[in-house]
Structure formats: C-alpha cells, structure tokens
Structure 1
Amino acid sequence: MKFNTIVSLASILSAIEAASVVYSIYPQQTAQPTQNVVFVTRTRDASSSSVTGQTTAITSCHYHGKTQFCVNGQGEEGVVVGAPTKTQDAPTEYTGCHAHSPQETFCIDPSGEEVQFQAEGEASESSGSSSGGKNCHFHAGVEHCVGGDAEEASCERVDRDYNIPLRIGLLFVILVTSGIGAFGPIFVRKLFNLSTDGIIFVIIKQFGTGVIISTAFVHLITHASLMWGNECLGELEYESTGTAITMAGIFIAFLIEYFGHRALQWRNNKALGTVKPVEDGSAEDDSITNKEAAQVQNNQVHGHHEHSLLMPKDKVSVTMMEVGIVFHSIIIGITLVVAGDSSFITLFIVILFHQMFEGLALGSRIAELEKTSMLNKLIMAFIFTIITPIGMAIGIGVLSKFNGNDKSTLIALGTLDSFSAGVLIWTGLIEMWSHDWLFGKLAHANAVKTAAAMFSLILGMLLMSLLGKWA
C-alpha cells in the first residue's frame, strides 16, 4: 500500500513538473494558438538525421548582401526564403515557427505572413536534390558544368542524342543568310550605282564597324577566356596565355599590313621610274602617265589613305579582316553543331543574326574596293559565305567523338579565338574606326551624315553585344 502511494505521488510530481515546463515554453497558449507550433530542428551526419530539439522562433536576423540569415534555437544559421528585399523593413526575428514536413520549416513574420527557414545543411541539400548540385550550360557551344561532382564528370565526353537531319537542314539556312549579308552590299552598289560616300553606304559601313569591334571584344575575347579558364585544362603555368596570343594576333596583322604597304610602295616607285618626259610636253609612258605618277608620289609623301594606282591599299586591310572572320566562323560552325539539342535552336537563331551582321560588315568593305575586279570581290564574299557551313559540316562529322572539355580541344579553340580577336581588334580599331573617323571623310562630314554614322556605329556594337548573351 505504501509502495503504491509512493508511486502515485511520484507520478503527480512528474506531471506537475512537465506542466511547468510546457507552460514555460508556451506562456500564451490560449491567446495565440497559431503562433506556438513546435519547430523541429535536425542535426545531420553523413548517413542520417534525427530530431534533437525544439524552438518557436528564429532570431538574430541579419543580411549578407540581399539574403537574410537568422539563427534557430539550436544555434544553426540559415536562410530566410521570402524575406523582405528592403533591409530597413526587415524584422530581426520571426516567431510561430513550425514544420510542414521534416524537410520544410516555416515561421511567421510580424505582418502574419509565412516565410521559410532553411538551415545551412538543409539549403545545400535542397539545392542539390533537383539536379544533383550540377549546373551545365554552354559557352560558345562547348558545355561547361559547375557544382556537385562537375569537376570530376564534366571533363568526360557525354553521349547525347543529336538531331542530325535538323542540323544538316539548317546548314543551308546559314549558307543562304551568310550569302545575303556578304553579297548584298556588293550587288546593291553595282545595280544601283551607289556611291560609297553616300549616306546609305556610310550607315552600312559604320554598322559593320560596330559589329566587328563587338565581335572581337564581347565574343572572341570572352570565349577565349572561358576556354583558357576551363577547369579541365588545369592551371596554366602562364596565366596570360590568352591575352598574349591576342597581342600576337594584333602584331601579326600589323606586320602583314606594314609589309604589304611597303611592297605597294616599291611597285609604285618602280612605276615612277618608267616615266620618260618628252621635249614637246607630251609623255611617253610604258605603264602610267606623268599625271598618274604625280598622284602616286603625292599619296606617298602625304601619307593619304587613298587607293594606289596598281593595287588598292585597302584591299590588304579587308583581306586581314576576312582572315580574322574566317577563323572565327569555322569555330562558330563547329560549336553550333556540337551544342546539345536543349540549346541548339536558341544558339542557331543567335548565330543566324551573327552571320548576317558580319556578312554586312565584310560585304560593305569589299564593295567599296576600287581597282578590284568584280570576280575578286565575289570570290572574297563567297569564302565568307561557305566557311561557317564548312565548320558545321566538320562538326557533324565529329559529333560521335567531340568532347568540348577535352584538353587539346580547349587549347585549339582558345588559341583560334584569341588570335582571331587580335586580328579583328587591329582591323576594327585601326583600319575601320580610326581610318574612317580620324583620317577619312567622316572627319569633315556634315552634321547629318556624322550623326547617322555615329548612331549606326553604336547600334552595331549594341546589337552584336546583345547576341553575346547567348552565343
């Protein structure tokens, strides 16, 4: 009997103690029943999770950038999803925390709205659950993955299902579009006898100048830096490899133009030596007249950017411009085809406009070449027209073996992008921009032509730079 009495007393004391504990945790149970749901926190090890404590609020809320962090009752810091974007309006604590499921914890802000609290371990697990923490995307058609186990897996070739008939069909679309851009200015000038100094041609030329400059800086240099910085390439012993190759491209473009102009001067000087004045005031000339010889000499002495009598100096510049574009276009064709089907159509549309703009840029410069036969102009335009489809054909041929994150592939693409950027920087800045605006006819153009040319230049830069978001 005494034993039963003692047990009863012990039970009563335990109940009173439990009630006091509950009351200390829930002092306002009757006033605010919705604010007092138990918030269950979990501590995780490598293999399991378990319930270890409880709390009704998260406190010590603060911001890192635009993300709000708070601390729960177990001392775990986590992210508040749905927190105010204005930090001055944000509360420093949230109450009424409760669990909708073992993986989801919600609390109430002062206005009565729910926000989600994710402890650091839960946030990282949540972000990784949807895609394994691995995020893959394409740079210039070459897949690049970050997060999760991307460092180990991304360097291996990934087998994909490619829509080959679609790629073959769109090859001809690129061919036609490139041809329209490159041949268009040439035929328009020929058919309508347009002056290269007219406002229409000035607008086309300056738009092309903006396109070339943006191609060099926004497309090529950016793509090259991504190639040289790819994790699969490893750490470069010389960190400035890409920019050094770009500088080499600028220097080689300069050397070709310099020695090309020196060769033209030598030919002109040789032509000047063939002039034989006659006593009666006429001239007997095996190749050119006294008047033409004087013009050649005047151009050389004053350094005018004019066409020589034997061969236009600008043809060297346009040829260098085409060389840089050709290298770039081969890469574009290959990387377009090897891009996964998920991004292929988007990339194709962007490159379609890209080729049209580049074709206009090159075609407008080819069209204004003097003392160059129509056949030569058409050949130059034809080379640009077919080069991207050739790159696409190469890409289709290597689809079963291509690995964009292979070390040798990254080096090849990075080298071509860096070198092409150097060539187009020289051509765009020196032979196109400064030639037209500082030494050419735009230096003394009227206000209307100057404004139209400036607007077209900026438009070319902006549109081509916009395309750089996807290509």
Structure 2
Amino acid sequence: MSNSSSDSCQVTDDGSDSYNLTLRIISVFVLLIVSFAGASITIFSSYIKFFRIHPIIINAGKYFGAGVILGTGFIHTLPGAMSALTDECLPDSWKEYESYAGLFAMIAVLLMQLIEVIAHHQLHRTPKKEQKIVVENIDSTPYVIPVEDCQQQGHSHGLSLLDEDRNRRITTYLLEFGIAIHSVLIGVTLGTEDGSTFVALFIALCFHQFFEAIALGAQIALLNNKSILPGIMMVIFYSFTTPIGIAIGIGVHITTYNPKSVAALLSTGILDAASTGILIYVALVDLIAAEMGPGAHRFFELKTRVKILYFIALYLGAAFMAVIGRWA
C-alpha cells in the first residue's frame, strides 16, 4: 500500500465543523414518522373502514413496492458492497479477489432458500390425522372429513388457502428481516455522513424509506391476521430500524469513526452484500414470481388492463429506486 493510499485511509481532522448534530437528531424522528406512515397505509386500510382503499390501488402499491425492493438490491446495496469490499484501504489479500460482494450475496440467496424450505417443512409437519374439516349434511348434521379424504373428495380449497397464508407469512417475515438489515445500514451511513451531501442524502432516504415501507406494509396487510395489533407491531419494528442505525452512526462518529478502517469496510461490505442477496431473492422469488409468475393463477385471471397496470407499477418502482440511487 502506497503512502498516499495509507494517508487516505486515516482519520483526519482539518478543523472544519461540517457535522451538524442537530440535523442528525431531526432526521431520526423524521425517518421514524416517514417509515411508520408508509408501512401503515395499507395496514389501516385493511382493518379500518374510514381508511379503506380500493384493492386495485393496494395491489398496485404492492407491485410498485416489489419493484422498489428489487431496485434497492441492485441499485443501492450491491454497488455499496462492491465498493467497500474492493476499497484500496483493505489488505491485499482482500483486493486480490474482486468478487467478494457477489460471493456473499450468492451465499445469502442460498441461505434464504434453505431457510425458506426448512420453514415450510416445519409448518407442514402437522400430522394429517389431526387436520380435519367440519362440514354439514343436507339435514344440517355436522360431520368430520379427514384431510386425506377431503382432498380425495375435492374439498381441499380450505387447505390451499391455509397453505397460501403460511407461505405468505414466511415470505413477509423474511422480507422484513432483509429490509431491517438494509435500513439499519443506511441509517448508520446517514449518521456518519460528514459533509455537504447530507441534505441530499437525507431527502433521498425519506423517499426511499417511504416506498420501501409501502411494499412491506402491503405484504403485512395480506397476512389476514384477526387483529390489527400483530401488523402494527411489525410496522413499529421496521420504523425503528433506520433511526437506530442513525443513532449508531452518530455514536461512532463522536468516537472518531473511520469509515476507511478495515473493520468498518468489511462489516459494511459483507452486511450490504448479504442484504443484497436477501432483497433480490425475496423480490424475484417470493414477490414477483409468486405473484405474477406461471403459478400465479389469480393474476392470470385478472383483466388485461389490470395486469398491465400492475406491470407498470412494478417497473415504476424499480425505475424510481434507480433514480433515487443517483443521490442515496
């Protein structure tokens, strides 16, 4: 490593006071409100008549959000991971292999697939003899049909809905996990940002978090929970991720944070790469393919103009994140 490179990897203090702590503290509360508002829109619409929104609008928002999540993975987290894991301040052993970002993203994809398979396996382990459906005779006398008999007699519709709900629940939990990691990381970035780019980055992240929150909220709203409380708890959890990241960023900056240190570069790069794998997997497999792919029979039963609307919403979501990526 040359002397010039070594110097650029050290913490410097030129006596300037460009770090405005007040703005960082304000950003904590603003992003908290923005994230909560975006994720709550569809939740409240599903449970409160006053906030009721037409299903087509909600679904369009869901597909727009899928595009947002896909764009977040490709435009926001992957380039950040590649930049961090190929930085000149890393040891030569890391710079000799330029594909670490792709490697960690691929590992995250494979782990997500494995976790999803295990989760589905555990959910479907209920013994068939315990799964019964109560129906009524013509004379209103109730009787029980075992699941295997029910399936043979063509009464498996209820079970299909149950499986669909279980699958959607797993998808939603994995989606929130991936988004949470990403939100904490961008919060840390905002909290440690020192310079004139803070305001532009802050505004871009407000839009970013709002539309990402809409995507998550749309998925949570589809869980069909009996009460609004579980959905609100998931929204609150998500809403605090970016503010927590900002608070961490403020803390490490006060303690003379060096974003060019080996530890900072590796932790940021690896987590960004893992987040990339999670977001891209969930967007492509669980959101786009599952909702719009060959097996999505409900989607293909829709009117052509509605399907076109949903595709446009998907593309607009991805395009929006590509534009936001210019500043964030």
Contact 2:258 2:264 survives alignment (8 Å): yes
Name the counterpart of 1:423. Answer: 278
Alpha-carbon offset, residue 275 of structure 1: 6.7
CA deviations over 1:35-79 (Å, ceiling 9, x no partner): xxxxxxxxxxxxxxxxxxxxxxxxxxxxxxxxxxxxxxxxxxxxx
Alpha-carbon offset, residue 269 of structure 1: 2.9
Matched to 1:202, the amino acid is N
Contact 1:335 1:395 survives alignment (8 Å): yes
Matched to 2:37, the amino acid is I
Over 3 Å counting, the alpha-carbon distance change for 1:167 and 1:258 in structure 2 is: same
Distance in 1, Cα, partners of 2:155 & 2:278: 29
1:241 to 86, 100, 104: 100
Name the counterpart of 2:173. Answer: 319
1:255 to 114, 133, 136: 114
Distance in 2, Cα, partners of 1:380 & 1:293: 38
Alpha-carbon offset, residue 299 of structure 1: 7.7
Alpha-carbon offset, residue 239 of structure 1: 3.2
Is 1:266 the counterpart of 2:121? The answer is no
Structure number having the greater strand percentage: 1
Aligned residue runs from structure 1 range 379-398, under 5 A: 379-398=233-252
Contact 1:186 1:367 survives alignment (8 Å): yes
Distance in 1, Cα, partners of 2:232 & 2:278: 22
Alpha-carbon offset, residue 240 of structure 1: 2.3
Name the counterpart of 2:142. Answer: 282
Q: Higher mean Cα deviation, 445-454 or 426-435?
A: 445-454
Contact 1:215 1:464 survives alignment (8 Å): yes
Alignment TM-score, normalising by the size of structure 2: 0.87
Residue-pair matches, total? 317
Alpha-carbon offset, residue 197 of structure 1: 8.7
Contact 2:41 2:217 survives alignment (8 Å): yes
Matched to 1:315, the amino acid is R
Matched to 2:143, the amino acid is A
Distance in 2, Cα, partners of 1:329 & 1:182: 14
Distance in 2, Cα, partners of 1:367 & 1:465: 26
Name the counterpart of 1:119. Answer: none
Contact 2:201 2:327 survives alignment (8 Å): yes
Is 1:412 the counterpart of 2:272? The answer is no
Contact 2:63 2:310 survives alignment (8 Å): yes
Matched to 1:169, the amino acid is I
Aligned residue runs from structure 1 range 93-104, under 5 A: none
Distance in 1, Cα, partners of 2:315 & 2:118: 32
Contact 1:337 1:344 survives alignment (8 Å): no
Distance in 1, Cα, partners of 2:240 & 2:301: 38
Specify which structure has the bigger relative contact order, considering alpha-carbon pairs within 8 angstroms and separated by 6 or more residues: 2
Contact 2:45 2:52 survives alignment (8 Å): no
Matched to 1:283, the amino acid is Y
CA deviations over 1:61-117 (Å, ceiling 9, x no partner): xxxxxxxxxxxxxxxxxxxxxxxxxxxxxxxxxxxxxxxxxxxxxxxxxxxxxxxxx
Name the counterpart of 1:437. Answer: 292
CA deviations over 1:363-414 (Å, ceiling 9, x no partner): 1111111246422111111111011001111111111221111001110001
Alpha-carbon RMSD:
3.1
Is 1:362 the counterpart of 2:221? The answer is no
Matched to 2:276, the amino acid is A
Matched to 2:33, the amino acid is V
Over 3 Å counting, the alpha-carbon distance change for 1:217 and 1:284 in structure 2 is: same
Matched to 1:345, the amino acid is V
Over 3 Å counting, the alpha-carbon distance change for 1:194 and 1:396 in structure 2 is: closer
Distance in 2, Cα, partners of 1:270 & 1:411: 51
**Structure 1, unpaired ranges of 5+:** 1-147
Contact 2:44 2:51 survives alignment (8 Å): no
Name the counterpart of 1:16. Answer: none
Name the counterpart of 1:375. Answer: 229
SS at match of 2:223: coil
CA deviations over 1:286-333 (Å, ceiling 9, x no partner): x99x86997885687xxx6x4439x63211001101111001011110
Distance in 2, Cα, partners of 1:407 & 1:190: 48
Over 3 Å counting, the alpha-carbon distance change for 1:313 and 1:393 in structure 2 is: same
SS at match of 1:230: coil
Distance in 2, Cα, partners of 1:233 & 1:151: 10
Contact 1:163 1:341 survives alignment (8 Å): no
Structure index of larger Rg = 1
Percent identity (aligned): 31
Over 3 Å counting, the alpha-carbon distance change for 1:458 and 1:275 in structure 2 is: closer
Alignment TM-score, normalising by the size of structure 1: 0.62
**Structure 2, unpaired ranges of 5+:** none
Matched to 2:7, the amino acid is A
Aligned residue runs from structure 1 range 11-50, under 5 A: none
Over 3 Å counting, the alpha-carbon distance change for 1:426 and 1:269 in structure 2 is: farther
Over 3 Å counting, the alpha-carbon distance change for 1:157 and 1:418 in structure 2 is: same
